[in-house]
Amino acid sequence: MSSIVFITGATSGFGRASARRFAAAGWSLVLTGRRLERLQALQDELSAQVPVHIAALDVRDEQAVRQVVAQLPEGFRPIKALINNAGLALAPQAAHQVDLADWHTMIDTNIKGLVNVTHALLPTLIETGAGASIVNLGSVAGQWPYPGSHVYGASKAFVQQFSYNLRCDLIDKGVRVTDIAPGMAETEFTLVRTKGDQAASDRLYRDTTPLSGEDIAEQIFYVATLPAHININRLEVMPTRQAWSNFAVDRDKA
């Protein structure tokens, strides 16, 4: 029987690339996301390689999460890896200019959604035991602040600390926990953040070499398939052409 991976936010970006990477290695897939038509297309693409189960899911909905987990078909129940990828950034403006609803959406998705799925699948992962993995998608924004990051960065700091603390609780269960923190990566991230501004997305990635969804999927696969006695606590991944900048200083105007 093949190993089974449960991926949230599988309809684009890191989630979709991870589905393809795990399928290439023969893993069975449980793919979830809000856009059913994209899940169906991915299922059509990958089901010739491996068994694929899909479920439309908004991770913010606790009851829906529990229902999806409870209704997993028998052949998809013994989950070996959970990829908590569902998340988003909104409102790149300064904090005093944003809509409070956007902050709530990021908190509900990046924090509450993460804990909803993790809590629902912990019993299964603990039952799987040695070699089971939880891979949480954080961000360099959780460690390195920048203008316009406000709640997004704070939510990814939660991902980091939640991952560390979860490791402490699972130390005797054999379940690994990793916070993978990507830097600049060319996915739908900026389109979502700017609510469809393609020009803004193009500007961000123009004339440089960002990471790709496939780059991060490779790192996710790596940490989830290490020998059972190895845990990567946190993996921060940046493009070679991205680094930290100087501190900002506000100066009197001449």
What's the CA gap between 156 and 141, in Å, rounded?
7
Q: What is the DSSP letter of 110?
A: I
For the chain, how long is the longest CA-to-CA vector? Answer: 71
Q: Which of 146, 152, 164, 205 is an active site residue?
A: 152
What's the CA gap between 11 and 238, in Å, rounded?
23
Using an 8 Å Cβ cutoff, are 6 and 81 in contact? Answer: yes
What's the CA gap between 96 and 223, in Å, rounded?
39
Look at residues 60, 15, 61, 22 and name the one whose alpha carbon lies nearest to residue 38.
15
Q: Does 152 qualify as catalytic in the annotation?
A: yes
Cα angle 127, 133, 136; round to 5: 130
What's the CA gap between 110 and 196, in Å, rounded?
20
**Token digits of residue 43:** 């299922």
- Catalogue the active-site residues: 152
